[in-house]
Amino acid sequence: MANHDIHLTVRRGTVHALCGENGAGKSTLMKILYGMQKPDEGSIALDGEQVTLQTPGDAIARGIGMVHQHFMLADNLTVLENTVLGAEKLHGIGAGARARIKELSDAYGLHIRPDVLVEDLGVADRQRVEILKVLYRGARTLILDEPTAVLVPQEVDALFDNLRELKSEGLTVIFISHKLGEVLSVADDITVIRRGTTVASVEPSETTPKQLAELMVGSELPSPETRESTVTDQEMLRVRDLHLSATDSDGVVRTVLDGISFTIHKGEVLGVAGVEGNGQAELVEAVMGTRTPDHGTVVLDGTDLSGASTRARREGGVGYIPEDRHRHGLLLEAPLWENRILGHVTERPNSKGKLLDLAGARKDTARIVAEYDVRTPGIEVTASSLSGGNQQKLIVGREMSHRPKLLIAAHPTRGVDVGAQAQIWEQIREARREGLAVLLISADLDELIGLSDTLRVMYRGRLVADADPAVITPEELGSAMTGAASGHLTAPEDGATEDGAAEGRTSQDGASDGAGEQGGEQK
Amino acid sequence: MSTSTTTPAKNPAVDAIARSATRDKVILAIAAPVLAIVAAIVISSLVFLASGENPFRAYGIMADYGHYSDSQVWIINKAVPYYLSALAVAIGFRMNLFNIGVDGQYRLAAFAAAAVGGAIALPGAIQIILLIVIAMLVGALWSGIAGLLKTTRGVSEVITTIMLNAIAASIIGYFLQDGRLAIKDGNLLHTKFLPESSHFFSFPTHPKPVYGFVVIAVLAGALYWFGINRTRFGFDLRAVGASESAAEASGVSVKRMVVSSMLLSGAAAGLVGMPTLLGESFQYGTDFPAGIGFTGIAIALLGRNHPVGMAFGALLWAFLDRTGSRLEFEGYAQEIVGVIQGVIVLCVVIAYEIVRRYGLRLQQRKVGEELAALSTADKSDNKPEVSA
């Protein structure tokens, strides 16, 4: 993605948010600032001095540090060891380093425990270690790339407290996000990037989420809210007593899924909330048939698929939007039309008998590109040249084109811009009206609450709680995700452990008046 | 609003982009081999110069010698097993499997076919087909061991196939002894001669005939192309090669694909020894050509696993073999041809990788630029932009 005419001024001692659609060029800009990529033209000035950043080493030497979206920590080392790794020359690896870490931790309220193994830390703690690493190397300017993507609301608040602490000590934070609420709550200045260029600089006090969204995409803030319930009493997917154990790298057998049972009806979206790593990915794999559970049954529309292959399950009507589209959803170096075949090679229009139908697949790819608004110059370009949102739209279009009975959507709008997000939500809603059952896994609590008809909370491989999305708040859900609450979270009637929540609620209209008009305008 | 105006399928500007993308693709496809050949000639020339010889005289000798019709027949006949070997390797490569064991597979296959062929005498066509089938089965069996070990025990096919090469050589060595399956002929040991009826047909060219097996090689190449590009099986195979995780999530049984592609690779390897056995030697002896499996790896790399590319690669390799031997008579070091062959493979691998990466980057940049251009064109339909 090319960047052009970027103008960005960050004041010292502030939190500066950088927001924009995915593929707008935020990451490219950050790579340039961190010395990972060189600009063709233009200049960077730090404290009024022109600088050339050739490598991340240059950036670090000038006090710029980056906390990546994906943590770069060695699990089997302690926090102290991770921190000094590669920076041994600064304060050694012993008492000097420990003292410095303590000092930094106290100064910025990071609550670091230097001798704990990183593998024993939760996501939020790991993130603090990443921040510590950057500070330890002497950074005065921190770049945080979508730091809240993996956190629950309480953890986000804690992170923001840390950021304010950093700011008050005179450090500068550049904060990348496309979650508008967060941006408004923590930033002192906001710069919006669209299609590789800075389109606006605003102050949070003078703007609203809606205006920000307009700046980002030129359309209104989409809402994930489901308007009327389409839940029927016909069972589509029935999962019973699923157990899965896995052997970890130390040879210890751990239970990953424990007694998972649920039912999804036609027209129902079942949302599974949970902090990542609590078995959601394994649950998806078990239902998809890429992992074989120890026992338990999976029945789709009356057909027992427990022993079926992944292909048989897909042919049987399971659509799949994987969590990691690069690893599981696309062939990145293959053209779009080959990606359209992926996962549905045995089905029309991709093949006739044992032979591929190239013409049919190409034609249908063109249709998907048009219908699902995949922004691409053509269907012969490789999937890797599309932005994340457009890749995801292609995947959604592909899966929906085969009229699935069940859609497994794992983080369907992760790393996707606001415009694409709205379209994907609309697609899911539309299919749901026609009787699609959806298993939705998401870390975005607004998405979960807005789209789901039924909510389940997953904690340490078990479904520990259920909730009614009509009444629950993200905060309540967040505390259940950390294991603090269990059972039925809000509704008064008790004992509804299996499917009660779905039938217990038939309508939640009126809760989201006005959202309809907004959503409609996206199309 | 904005979405309907940017719908790509209906925009004439987009057609132009698609056309220019196709043009880039063709240019890049030609650029890679041209770049590789130029680089290889430059480096080879430097090697000649460093050894105190005139490179242009050497090229002159090679071109001149390659010109004779006996050379050309020799080159074609040599290229046939090279090509089949490259095909066998390429089947694995398309799936990220490195079958180093083509060498052991074809030798064991040819030996088995020779042993059976020398013992029985069926009517011509039946016997020929039988021998070819036996060779393919034995090759598949041998590579299948590696496939099974990989899927059941997780042993890398690189290790197993190279070990199986050694085991194949030992098995052949054991049976190729007087009193077992071999007869003594001077100081050579070889299996019994095949009956006249199982000699494969040949094209009566001068001074020597061209193997009729060249037809089988062409058919195998066509089948390979069709199988990889036009069948569901081929798509699954390519998907596993491109991304194992994505293929698995899409419903491909990766383990089954590993076993099937190893079997296919071995079956193709089984054909490698057939042109020699059925067209020239009519027995398997201690002087049966060895090492073609490794040459196949180089040629598959050279031809980028493409059936036509590998055909050119095989011919080029055979050309260098032939004309290189001539250089020796003209006072050049014998090793120089090996150096040239190595340089060519290296240049091709590097040039293709450079062009591939450049192409990907070019495409990403172009897509970005074109989409940005499209959105600017739409601006008039859009809401006015807010700027600071």
The secondary structure of A290-312, three-state, reads CCCCCEEEEEECCEECCCCCHHH
d(Cα A418, Cα A426) in Å, to the nearest integer?
12
Task: Say if B13 falls within a structural domain.
Answer: yes
Question: Quick one: pLDDT at residue A495?
Answer: 39
Whether omega before A469 lies within 30 degrees of 0, making that bond cis, reads no
Report d(CA A343, CA A330) in Å as an integer: 9
| Overall pTM > 0.90 | no
Say if residue B76 is in the same domain as residue B189.
Answer: yes
Q: How far apart are CA B103 and CA B84, in angstroms?
A: 12
Query: What CATH number does the domain containing B145 carry?
Result: 1.10.3470
CB contacts < 8 A, A to B, total 157
Nearest to A382 among B363, B371, B387 (CB): B363
Lowest mean pLDDT among A125-139, A232-246, A491-505: A491-505
pLDDT tens profile A372-389: 888 887 788 888 888 778
Interface contact B372, partner A, CB < 8 A = yes
Contacts of A370 in chain B (CB under 8 A): 7-10
Q: How would DSSP label each residue in A181-222?
A: HHHHHH-SEEEEEETTEEEEEE-GGG--HHHHHHHHHSSPPP
**CA–CA min distance A222, chain B (Å):** 15
User: Alpha helix locations (H) across chain B?
Assistant: 2-5, 12-50, 55-67, 69-93, 102-119, 124-148, 157-175, 213-230, 232-242, 244-249, 254-272, 274-276, 292-302, 307-329, 336-378
State the smallest CA–CA distance between residue B11 and chain A in angstroms. 9
Q: Is A85 on the interface with B (CB under 8 A)?
A: no
For each of the domains in chain A, give its residue range(s) and CATH number, in order of start. Answer: 15-217 (3.40.50.300), 235-317+403-521 (3.40.50.300)
Q: CB distance A1–B368 less than 8 Å?
A: yes
**B310 part of a folded domain:** yes
In a domain, B250, yes or no: yes
Contact by Cβ (8 Å): B95, B240: yes
- Per-residue pLDDT tens over the stretch B298-349: 899 888 888 998 999 899 989 988 888 888 888 887 788 888 888 888 888 8
pLDDT at residue B12 in the model: 53
- B 152-181 residues with CB below 8 A of A? none
Backbone torsions φ then ψ of B189, nearest 5 degrees: -115, 135
pLDDT at A500: 38
Chain B nearest C-alpha distance from A208 (Å): 14
Residue B156 domain-assigned? yes
What pLDDT is stored for residue B148 in this prediction? 92
Residue-wise pLDDT tens digits, A295-318: 888 888 888 888 888 888 998 889
3-state secondary structure of A410: strand
Asked if residue B132 and residue B7 are part of one domain, the reply reads no
Dist. CA A186–CA B278, nearest whole Å: 80
B388 lies within 8 A of chain A by CB:
yes
* Position with higher pLDDT, B243 vs A420: B243
Cβ contact B371–A195 (<8 Å): yes
Does A328 contact B14 at a Cβ distance shorter than 8 Å?
Answer: no
Q: Which A-chain residues 284-343 have CB contacts (< 8 A) with chain B?
A: 288, 290, 309-315, 320, 322, 327-334, 338, 341-343
Decide if B250 touches A, using CB distance below 8 A: yes
Euclidean distance between the first and final Cα of chain B, in Å? 24
Residue with tokens 């061991």, as numbered in its chain: B145
Q: 């293929």: which residue's tokens? A: B247
Whole-number Å distance between alpha carbons of B71 and B65? 7
Same domain (yes/no): B125, B219: yes
Strand A351-352 relative to strand A141-145: parallel, antiparallel, unpaired?
A: unpaired
* pLDDT for the residue A2: 54
With CA atoms as reference, report the closest residue to B242 among B312, B192, B305. Answer: B305
Label the pairing between strands B188-190 and B202-203. Answer: unpaired
Whether the CB of B43 is below 8 Å from some CB of chain A: the reply is: no
Find which of A53-67, A420-434, B151-165 is predicted with most confidence, using mean pLDDT.
B151-165
- Return the biggest CA–CA distance within chain B: 94
Answer yes or no: do A290 and B248 touch at CB < 8 A.
Answer: yes
Is B263 part of a structural domain of the chain?
yes
**Model pLDDT, residue A250:** 61
Q: Regarding beta strands B210-211 and B202-203, do their DSSP bridges make them parallel or antiparallel, or are they unpaired?
A: antiparallel
Q: A330, A376, A386: best mutation site toward chain B, by most B Cβ within 10 Å? A: A376
Of A217 and A503, the structure prediction assigns the larger pLDDT to A217
pLDDT at B21: 63
Residues 14-33 on A with a CB inside 8 Å of B are: none
Query: Does residue B212 contact residue B200 with C-beta atoms inside 8 Å?
Result: yes
Is A6 a residue whose pLDDT tops 80? no
> Does residue B50 form part of some domain?
no
A interface test, pick of B226, B235, B250, B383 with most A CB neighbours within 10 Å:
B250
Q: Which residue range is the domain that position B101 belongs to? A: 71-322
Which of A:153-172 have CB within 8 Å of B? none
CB atoms B363 and A322 under 8 Å: no
Highest mean pLDDT among A116-125, A235-244, B85-94: B85-94
Token pair for B169: 């050589």
Domain total for chain B? 2
Q: What are phi and psi of B352, to 5 degrees?
A: -65, -40
Does the structure show a pLDDT above 60 at A497?
Answer: no
The larger pLDDT score, comparing residue A120 to residue A81, is at: A81
**Does residue B62 fall inside a structural domain?**
no
pLDDT of residue B377: 54
The β-bridge relationship of strands A235-247 and A295-300 is: antiparallel
Nearest by CB: B2 against A199, A215, A218 = A218
**Percentage of the residues of chain A whose pLDDT score is greater than 70:** 87
Nearest CB neighbour to B232, from listed A312, A354, A376:
A354
pLDDT mean over A243-266:
81
Interface mutation vs chain A, best among B371, B374, B387, most A CBs within 10 Å: B371
Same domain as B244, residue B141:
yes
Is the minimum CB–CB distance between B57 and chain A shorter than 8 Å? no
A176 vs A248: CA distance, rounded Å: 34
Q: Which chain A residues are closer than 8 Å to B370 by Cβ? A: 377
Find the residue in B nearest to A324 (Cα): B246
Residues B101 and B201 in one domain: yes
Q: Which residues of A touch B9 (CB under 8 A)?
A: 366, 369-370
Low-confidence ranges of chain B (pLDDT < 70): 1-22, 372-388
Task: Please name the member of A334, A351, A385 whose beta carbon is closest to the beta carbon of B363.
Answer: A385
Residue of B nearest to A315 (CA): B251
Quick check: A430 contacting B, CB < 8 Å? no
Tell me the residue type at B334.
Answer: Q
Interchain pair A214, B360: CB under 8 A? no
Q: How far is B121 from chain A (nearest CA, A)?
A: 38
pLDDT at A249: 60
Of B7, B372, B388, the CB nearest to A370: B7
**DSSP letters for A455-505:** EEEEETTEEEEEE-TTT--HHHHHHHHTTS--EE-S-S-----SSHHHHT-
In a domain, B373, yes or no: yes
Say what angle helices B213-230 and B232-242 make with each other, to 10 degrees.
70
Same domain? For B370 and B255 the reply is: no
| Choice between B265 and A502, residue whose per-residue pLDDT is larger | B265
Rounded to the nearest 10 degrees, the angle between the axes of helix A95-108 and helix A123-136 is 110
The pLDDT assigned to A226 comes to 52
Q: Is the ipTM of this complex over 0.90?
A: no
Per-residue model confidence (pLDDT) at position B86 = 94
Say yes or no: B361 contacts chain A, CB-CB below 8 A. Answer: no
Q: A interface mutation test: which of B229, B243, B253 has the most A CBs within 10 A?
A: B243
List chain B residues with CB under 8 Å of A381: 21, 363, 367
| pLDDT classification of A512: cutoffs 50, 70, 90 | very low
Is the backbone of residue B370 left (phi > 0), alpha (psi -120 to 50) or beta?
alpha
| Closest CA of chain A from B249, distance in Å | 6
The residue count for chain B: 388
Instruction: Kindly list the residues from chain A whose CB atom is less than 8 angstroms away from the CB atom of residue B368.
Output: 1-2, 196, 385
Tell me, what DSSP letter sits at residue B151?
A: I
Q: Note the pLDDT tens digit of each residue in A136-154.
A: 888 888 888 888 776 777 7
Q: Which residues of B touch A410 (CB under 8 A)?
A: none
One domain, residues B6 and B142: no
